[in-house]
Every structure is written in C-alpha cells, then in structure tokens.
Structure 1
Amino acid sequence: MESAMRSRLLDLVTRPAVAGTVAALVLRALTLASRFLLSLLLARMLSPAEIGAYGLLTAALAFALLAVGLEFYSFTLRELVPATPERRARIIADQMVLGTAALVAVGIVVTSAIATGSFPARLAPWFMVILVTEHISLEATRILIITWRPVRAYIGVFLRGGIWVYAIAVLMLAAPSMRTLETVLVWWALGGVASIVFSGFSLSELPWRELRGYVPDLKNIREGLWTARPFMLTAAGALVISYVDRFVIDAFVGRDALGIYTFYSTILIGLLSLGSSVSHQFLPKVIAGYAAGRDAYRSALRSFFWSMLALVCATMILSAFAMGPMLAVLGLSTYTASIGVFYAMLPGVFLRMLADVPSYALYAARADKYLLICNLGSAAVSTLLNVALIPVLGIYGAALAGGITSAGLFLSLVGFAIHRMRGSFRKPGATESIGLPTDPDMLYP
C-alpha cells in the first residue's frame, strides 16, 4: 500500500506539467527573495545617500523601460500565438527595430540630462547598459511565456533579477572594497547579459537566417503602437504611483532621507511583486469566468478575492512583526529610528495588492477605459499629494500620500467593477485588442 502511494506520488511530481509548475514557482520565489536580500544588503553595506542615489536610478530606469518598450508587447504577444515560426521571427524583428529606435531616443534624453547637470555622469553609462540588458531580457521573457516555455522564462527572470544578488552578497561580505554602488550596477548588468544569452539560446530554433534582407513592416509597427497606446498610458500611471514620491523626497527632503525611504519601499515593492505573481495565476480563470457568464465570473472573482485577502493579511502581519527585530539583529539603527514610516506605508501596500482583484475584473471584461481612468486619475492624485505633503511631513508625507492614493485607486476600481458586473455579458470578440496587466517585473526596488 505504502509502496503504491509512493509510486503514484513519484509519478505525479515527475509529470512535465507538474514539474514545470513547481520549477517555475521555485525560481519565482528565489527571485523575490533576492529582492529582499538586496534591500538588506544595500542597507548594511552602503550609506543612506548611496541608497538614495540607487532609488532614483531604479525609478528612472522603470520609466525608461516603459519609454523603450512602449508596451508594444501587448500587441506582439497576441500576434505571436497563432503565428508560424517564420512569422514569429519577423514579428520579433519588427519589435527589435522599434526598441532600437526608442533606445536611441532615450540615449539622447540622458545625454541632454547629463549636459544640464540633472543626471550624474558617473552613473549614466551603467544606466544605459542596464536599460539595454533589462529591455532585451524582459521582452525575451515575455516571448518565452507566450510561446509556452514558462520554466525557461523564469530561469531568464532569475538570471536577470536574482542570481547576481546572491553573488554580490558573498562578494561584498568577503571583500570590503567591493561595497560600492558601482559593484551593484556592474553585477546587475552581468545578470541581464546572462539572461539574454540564455534567452537567445532558448529562441535559437526560430528561422533567423531567413530574415536576411528583411525590411521592417512599418505598417505593422504603427498598428502595434496604436493598439498599445491605452496600455502605455495605464502603465505610466502605475509607475507614477509607485515612484513619483522618490523624486519629490529628493527635491524637498534630501538624499539621506530618500535612502531610508528607498530601503523600506524596496521591501514593500517586493511584496507587491509577490501579490502580482499570485494574481497572474488567477487571470485565466477570471477571463474564462467572464466568457462563461455572470455566475461563473462572480465565482472566479470571489475565489480570487479571498485568496488575495489571505495572502495580503499574512504578508502584512508577518512584515509588521518581523521588521523591528530584523533591523535590531542587523544593527541598522539609522533605519530603526524611522521604522514608523514603514508601518505608515503598510496600509497603502495592503490596498494596492487587493486592488488587483477589481483591476483584473475590469481587465477580463475588456473595460480598458475604466482602468485607464483609475490609473491616470490616481497618478495625478499621487503627484499632487506628494508635492503637498512631503515638504511639510517629510518621508511620512510620502507614506500618507501613498495610502490615500491607494485607497482612492482601490475604491474607484471596485466601483467600476461593480458597475461592469451589473452590465451585460458577452464573449470577447476575436478581433478585439487586449493587452496585459502591469508586469510585476516592471516594478524595480
């Protein structure tokens, strides 16, 4: 009996689908854990001012990645699914042409910023190198996922955003001379290169040689940009909500205060990424529920909500109780003195994570207009609140602004989702365009 159960269990875990799912979850967990380790490593090895500079760099990088990618993948992924290998190679080639042009434009902007003194010249080369490697590896990951190779995709994600963190942790502990911001940026770039090499190998079976003499399809690129337009605006709104506070803190409070705030926001953005990873698992069920009818739609959303609520409550409680002892053990007295800002930020993150439920409800219903209104409106509110509160309350003002903005975003999404559920239901049309929700890997520490 016991032997038979062991045999059945072994057969289950060795099935390709199960093994692939487990491997993807392990790789995702290791990547998310590396973000938490990185925040602790930076706090232990670098000064608050250097962490502040890192916070500004990563915020600028998030916006630059949006400017380079232009959310074009929301168009290309739809096209890649039914395409032949030859067609897939041409679609990817068109995206590479667009990305190259966008990278040149961003490079010109960065050069102008250096000339005016608004961007540090010593960090600019690394910024551009990381921008290139992040963009290429991120798009390759999306292509691997949509072409049904999730394990390889998450290996690429781990190489891009995980393994190098463990490497520099050992390096910085062993060699004090390596405890610099430049070391972090160098290894970050190396992680991106490793991800690109692996992804290139994974996509090598496509008929790239047949692209010799291929002329980019400008009509296809224009169509893709038009399709991606609303998703680009939605993503921009999400990034403003996540990062505008860093620029305002740097302008009104100072780089040291920004370093403290970046330390805590790094950890909390890691929690957002964890929540987004779980949310993505429910997305197909919510979409299928909407197509099946009102009852199935509500059932899928109900399951999604209770699962997210359990996850959010568990992570918030664990974070609240663990943060103080962890800082004490690590001897991070500078950050302990401002731990109140971490607790002030928790409600906003709680609501941001729960907001995935109404957001995905609207996404599945193709209510892109509502998503756009909520994200752009919240971005405007976040900007105004940060500018008004940070000069008066410092980093606590940023935390308060984040909480109010998250509450407004959550309530507006819930209101629109309820309105949409009361409306008519229909199966999604085959010719309608739809992008993807904000990618959690776009949110950098």
Structure 2
Amino acid sequence: MLARNFLQLSNIAIRGLTLVSKFLLIFFLARFLEPAELGIYGLLAATVGYSLYFLGFDFYTYSTRELLKRERHEWGALLKAQGALTLLLYVIFLPLLSLVFIKGMLPMKVVGWFFALLILEHLTQELGRLLIAVSDQLFASLVLFFRSGVWAVLITGLMFVEPDTRNLDMVFGAWTLGSMTALLLGIYRVKRMGLSGWRQDVDWSWIIKGLKVASALLIATLAIRGSFTLDRYWFQALAGLDALGAYVLFMGVCMALMSFLDAGVFAFIYPGLISAYQRRDPVGFHQGIRKLLLQTVGLCGIFSVVALVAIGPLLAWLGKPLYSDQRGLFVWILLATVFYAVSMIPHFGLYAQGRDKPIIHSHIASLIIFILATWIFAQAWPVLAVPLGLCVSFFVVLCWKTWSFFRLTPAPYRLFQS
C-alpha cells in the first residue's frame, strides 16, 4: 500500500512539473510573442491534436480492453497488428491532411513543423497509452514529461535570456526535439518489457473487428474534440487573429485542469474500473467510481478558485492590454472546462462496462449543439459566442452521460442506490 501511494505521488509530481512547464510556456509565449503569433501556435497545436485521431483511429479504445483481457505473452502480436494498422492509416491520411495548407487554414511556413510534430505526437501518445494500460503510470509520466514538459522549460528559459529566440520556429523546434526524446524513451521501455508474440503474422481479422468497435467511438471522439478545434477557427473568424491569441492563452490555462486530471486521477482509476467490471466485482467498481467522483470534483473546485484568483495578476504581468481587455472570456472557458471534466466521471463508468452507445450519441450531439448554440449567441455576443457555445454543449454532455450511467449500470455497480 505504501509503495502504491509513493508511486501515485511520484506520478502526480512528474505530471505536476509537466503542467507547470506547459503553464509557464503559454504565459511566456503570451509575453514574448505577438498575439497573432500565439494565435497561430494555438491553431497549429489544435490541428495537430485533432489530426491525431485520424492517424490513431481511436483504436486504443479497443486494443486497451483487449490487452487487459489477454495474457502478456500474446501482447506482442496485438501490438504488431496495431502497428500495421498505423502504417496503413499514415499512407491514407497524411496526404489528405495537406489540405489544411492548400485551403489556407494554416500558413504554409509551418507545414514542415506540422507533419513532423503530428507523427511524433502520435507515436508518443500511443506509447504513453500502452504504458498506462499495463499500469506503468510512472514511466508513462516520464514519457509525457519529455514530450510536453522538458522542452517547454528549456525554450522558456532560452527566450527569457536570448531575445533572438523569441519566434515560432524556435518553439516548434524545441517541441520536435522533446517529442523525439520521449519517443526514444518509450521505445526503450517497451523493449525492456520483454513481450513475446512479435513473430506472429498480422491478425487482420482482429484489426477489422477492432475497427468496427473503434470507428464508432472515433466518430464520437471526432465530434467532441471537433468542438475544441472548430472553436479556435470560429473565434478567429468572429474576433480576429489578435483576439484569438487571448483565447488560446485562456484555453491553455483551463485545459491544464484536464491534463492534471488525466495524470493524477483518470490514469490510475479507469484501468481498475475495467478490471473490476471484467471480474464482476461490484464492490471494487463502486469504490473506483466513488474515488473518481470525489477526486475529480475536488480538483475542479481547487483549480477553479486558484485560477480565478491568479488570472488578474498574471495578465497584469504580461503587460499587454489586449489580454486584460479579453478577460471576460476566461470565466466562460473555465466553466465549460469544468463541465467537460465532470462529464468524464460517468464517461469512464460507461466505458468500463463496454456501454459505448451513450458516449457516442452524446458526443455527436455535443458538436451539433455547439454549432447551433454558437451561431445563436454570435448574433448578439460575437466575442463570447464560442465559449458560451462550449458551455451549453458540455453541460448537455454531462447530463446525458450521467443519466445514461444510472439508467444502464446494473444496480450493484451504481454509485447511489435506492
């Protein structure tokens, strides 16, 4: 028990350092770059994040459950099959993603950085998910630290002491170097696991079966994450590229909450929920859901209070009136993020049971609701329309998933019982 607590504390500490690094990066970028440049950084980061789903096809949602159900000597064959699928998806989607530049959605000057970061981010993301699935959360945190933390600290320090480095090329170069280091670290760890089954032929029937499961979840993921990508492009259209810099800054601060929850709460609890349900252990499942509820709500509350108190002095430190003028956006972005975070409680409860339909339906509905709500709000409040649309969308998702969890979960597994 002591060793487990130490492991979780170490994991949270590493993830905490990663979050602090990302937090410092976004604020130093806001201080040292022009708002329009920060806007471009936000657009590229959001587009890379969204494009990852096409390269991965959300196949991990199927492969993770399969790994946890199989003996370890079978894992090599499963990972080899997933690797074959990844190569096929690269061949299909990498050429198609060039349309982002052909259509002028992103400037051509960042095309090389985009594809380099996209591939590195995808590979390191999949390795991190594998390490989490096999309960190697500490090493998964180390991979994430090199992927998102170390390079942010280094480039922040460099920009602070050397004004000539205050440009997007230096930022993207440091990001690429960090992701490459994380990739090598993850590969090393997987090789040390000594998995067998690599020499088996690729099981295409297993891949096809997985695609049927994952494709439905992919549609749901593309819908919910589409809101986090479309929002930046829509906000730019409504308020301009300079104001988008403020939106990217505030969204970066608020999404630190999700990163912390992923690291300190979700990564530890959801594999146990899956295992408890597979073992038909209602007591273990009930305890996991209760822990998930208390830790998620608690962290949301603490984060919200600290963020609301600190945002004023931080904006004053930046010394750029544009960001302070747009401060009204922050409260609504924070509220939307909290709705999204709390909705992950019933989300993982449903996912652990293999009840994917409510997740899929709610996510598809969320994008439709976001588009309609934002369009309506844009008629009267164009600058606030996007964050208000996110609030409405994620509140509906929260209600939908909560109701579905209590409706579909067998009585002994429910959090509250009559």
Counterpart amino acid of 1:152? F
Whether 1:416 aligns to 2:404 is yes
* Separation of aligned partners in 2, 1:267 and 1:66: 23
Whether 1:58 aligns to 2:45 is yes
Whether 1:270 aligns to 2:250 is no
- What does residue range 83-232 of structure 1 map to in structure 2 within 5 Å? 83-85=71-73, 87-205=74-192, 216-232=202-218
- What does residue range 29-40 of structure 1 map to in structure 2 within 5 Å? 29-40=16-27
Which 4+ runs in 1 deviate beyond 4 A? 206-212, 284-290, 295-300, 423-427
Give the unaligned 5+ runs of structure 1.
1-11, 428-445
* Separation of aligned partners in 2, 1:426 and 1:302: 11
* Separation of aligned partners in 2, 1:228 and 1:210: 23
Whether 1:76 aligns to 2:63 is yes
| Bigger Rg, structure 1 or 2 | 1
Q: For 2:58, what is the secondary structure of its paired residue?
A: coil
Q: For 2:108, what is the secondary structure of its paired residue?
A: coil
1:267, CA displacement in angstroms?
A: 0.7
Q: In the alignment, is the contact (CA less than 8 A) between 1:253 and 1:390 conserved in 2?
A: no
* Separation of aligned partners in 1, 2:377 and 2:99: 31
* Separation of aligned partners in 1, 2:393 and 2:130: 33
* Separation of aligned partners in 2, 1:275 and 1:297: 19
Q: Out of 232, 235, 242, which is 2:228 matched to?
A: 242
Give the unaligned 5+ runs of structure 2.
none
Whether 1:258 aligns to 2:230 is no
Counterpart amino acid of 1:373? H
1:335, CA displacement in angstroms?
A: 0.7
What residue in structure 2 maps to residue 361 of structure 1?
Answer: 349
1:296, CA displacement in angstroms?
A: 7.0
Alpha carbons of structure 1 residues 420 and 78: separation in structure 2 relative to 1, 3 Å: closer
Q: In the alignment, is the contact (CA less than 8 A) between 1:304 and 1:357 conserved in 2?
A: yes
Q: Percent identity?
A: 24
1:101, CA displacement in angstroms?
A: 2.3
RMSD of aligned C-alpha atoms?
A: 2.7
1:342, CA displacement in angstroms?
A: 0.4
State the Cα deviation string for residues 320-343 of structure 1 (Å, max 9, x = none): 111001211332322111111102
TM-score (norm 1): 0.84
1:303, CA displacement in angstroms?
A: 4.5
State the Cα deviation string for residues 126-177 of structure 1 (Å, max 9, x = none): 1100011111111111222223432222111111111100000111011111
State the Cα deviation string for residues 260-283 of structure 1 (Å, max 9, x = none): 111101111111222333244343
1:420, CA displacement in angstroms?
A: 2.3
- What does residue range 346-357 of structure 1 map to in structure 2 within 5 Å? 346-357=334-345
- What does residue range 283-294 of structure 1 map to in structure 2 within 5 Å? 283=270, 286=273, 291-293=280-282
Counterpart amino acid of 1:147? V
- What does residue range 39-54 of structure 1 map to in structure 2 within 5 Å? 39-54=26-41
Counterpart amino acid of 1:400? L
Q: For 2:384, what is the secondary structure of its paired residue?
A: helix
1:373, CA displacement in angstroms?
A: 1.1
State the Cα deviation string for residues 89-115 of structure 1 (Å, max 9, x = none): 332222222212222323212334434
Q: In the alignment, is the contact (CA less than 8 A) between 1:248 and 1:387 conserved in 2?
A: no
* Separation of aligned partners in 1, 2:131 and 2:47: 26
* Separation of aligned partners in 2, 1:329 and 1:152: 35
Alpha carbons of structure 1 residues 206 and 415: separation in structure 2 relative to 1, 3 Å: closer
* Separation of aligned partners in 1, 2:35 and 2:273: 43
* Separation of aligned partners in 1, 2:98 and 2:327: 38
What residue in structure 2 maps to residue 313 of structure 1?
Answer: 301
Alpha carbons of structure 1 residues 76 and 309: separation in structure 2 relative to 1, 3 Å: closer
Q: In the alignment, is the contact (CA less than 8 A) between 1:248 and 1:386 conserved in 2?
A: no
Counterpart amino acid of 1:419? R
* Separation of aligned partners in 2, 1:145 and 1:371: 22
* Separation of aligned partners in 2, 1:205 and 1:298: 35
Q: In the alignment, is the contact (CA less than 8 A) between 1:276 and 1:353 conserved in 2?
A: no
Q: In the alignment, is the contact (CA less than 8 A) between 2:72 and 2:195 conserved in 1?
A: no
Alpha carbons of structure 1 residues 20 and 303: separation in structure 2 relative to 1, 3 Å: closer
1:287, CA displacement in angstroms?
A: 5.0
Q: In the alignment, is the contact (CA less than 8 A) between 1:27 and 1:155 conserved in 2?
A: yes
Q: For 1:393, what is the secondary structure of its paired residue?
A: coil
Aligned residue pairs, count? 410
1:116, CA displacement in angstroms?
A: 4.1
Q: For 1:395, what is the secondary structure of its paired residue?
A: coil
TM-score (norm 2): 0.89
Q: For 2:11, what is the secondary structure of its paired residue?
A: helix
